[in-house]
Structure 1
Amino acid sequence: MRNFKQAILLLIMLWSNTLLAQHIEVLQQGNPTSIRGLSVVNNQVAWISGSKGNIAITTDGGKSWKWQQIKGFEKSDFRDIEAFSAKEAIIMSSGTPALIMKTIDGGINWKVNYQNADTSYFLDAMDFDSPKHGFVMGDPINGKFLLMETKNGGDTWTLCTGPDAVKNQAAFAASGTCLRINGIFAIATGGPVAALLTQKDKQWTKISVPITHGKSTQGAFSIAVGKNQLIIVGGDYQKNKRRDSTACYSFDKGKTWQLSTTFPSGYQSGAEYVKKNIFLSTGTAGSNITTDGGKNWVKIEDTSYNVCRKAKHGNLVLLAGDKGKIGVLKF
């Protein structure tokens, strides 16, 4: 019995030391923009997008950033960005007008490839499964979520059939991660219902998830896709310290969901797969790590961030938030 207790104690100590080794370092802050768009291409190149028309790029792993406020779009709120290199990136603006813009010269010039002044159009998120193919989704119009597809790298966009929505159901333009099309085609929603809307063979399926919901400020905010598991995080952004029912996980590709045993520190707006069974989540209530695929979460940082993303080709993990704050996850 004594040896068993010693072994358990050793495992707990090793797990605690592993978590303590994971922390977030602030790279820069102080710019007058709220960042919600983040795309990490590799260990050197990453792009961010934010309010007041602000864009930034790093080519040295986040050590330095080149900022710009896109001329003529100083009032645009670029809630999501998808980047493919140091030269090519696509940005999406929420609000009116709805905008999708693209650069192929590192941000020197931006071309408007989609614009819609209809106030019912509110874009929430964008995701690509290749440099040519991607989707943008938005809040429901006439009972269906807005969904647009590109097959030519964002040069043109075509309306396609989105999933059905109940009254007041919506997705959140919080981190660009309520839509995922890599490994799963899914949309996380909130409001009166917290649900995962998945598509297969052009058919949509609605799966309820056990995340706080019922009010317009509550629901599922972000999906993260691992090797063998999915996680969803969210909560209530108006009561960001509320911890119960802020995370759940699935080990069967989203067919069934279980609430986490221990939850993140409160409302979480973004989540990302890191490696093995490790996921990172972040929000105004701080940042959290799970090392067991979403079952248990431990807070590693008090600072507020809006989004966290890992490199598509590499292991760099960055975070971004209000007042131009950018951080990096360290192991």
Structure 2
Amino acid sequence: TDMAMNNSVTEFILFGLTQDAEQQKAISGIFSILYLLTLLGNFLIVVSTFWTSHTLGSPMYFFLFYLSFADANYAPRLIVDALFQEKTISYHECMTQVFAVHFFGCMEIFVLILMAFDRYVAICKPLRYTTIMSRGVCGMLVILAWVGSCIHSSAQIFLALKLPFCGPNVIDHYFCDLQPLLKLACMDTYVINLLVVSNSGAICVVSFMLLLISYVVILYSLRNHSAEGRQKALSTCTSHFIVVVIFFGPCIFIYTRPPTTFPVDKMVAVFYTIGTPFLNPLIYTLRNAEVKNAMKKQIMTSVDKYGVFNLHFLNILVFGQE
């Protein structure tokens, strides 16, 4: 193919977050801990909300399962790559990573929108909630999120495969993404960058605006609710909104501008690639009594069943309860 003929680079070197040996050791330690906690937190949510908890039968927790699933697949590989001082990655692995990062990142965006829609229906149309958000509808919405994510990431990989590489192969980042790859391409990348901005950038901005509008509508409708109902709805929506801001702020910064890279880009990317998957379980469990109780019940049930050890101390530590 033309792409293969114009491409003399068979592997890339990921520069990482820093080349300072001491800083690299510190980052490796921090990222190792984040890696384990991200997997543990999302695994607990997946188990609690999908397989074992009958009390969390609402669509909100059905979508939370898929959010955690996306997080659990999104962060680990990026964290592992960031652990090494000089990480060599083959051309095909790099292209696969571009696809995976955009697939699970887009999946996270669509699931956050579905969760906002669920909250809107629950608060603004409570009498029709069970009809509108039936199991079949929720399943169809998730399938659409999968298909949409696949279309988006396929477009990204199509643009990446069009790039010819014939010279430097050091990617000034800790994972493969289109922006740093554009800097290495042996061609004028202005048009491709416009396509990236109109694809990734548009998805980020339009989704963020939709979410903001949905929260304005929800907050406006809460004025007619009782104080208790208002407090419960605000608690759930606040958790959701914190995640949205942490995720979309950095995404919009990275994907909605001309082909210029800044030194701060890599640290900004840490927020949405590593920070959000790590914080999601904390935000949803610490601020949501139902999820917290379901997780607590699952842990205690497992211990009672298998008699591994007494989790009294862990129960106090994690849930703050005697």
- The two structures share one fold, judged by TM-score above 0.5: no
The TM tier, using the shorter chain, reads under 0.3
Report which of the two structures shows the higher radius of gyration computed on alpha carbons: 2
Write 1 or 2 for the structure with the bigger share of helix. Answer: 2
**TM-score if structure 2 supplies the norm length?**
0.24
Write 1 or 2 for the structure with the bigger share of strand. Answer: 1
**TM-score if structure 1 supplies the norm length?**
0.24
Structure number with greater CO (CA < 8 Å, separation at least 6) is: 2
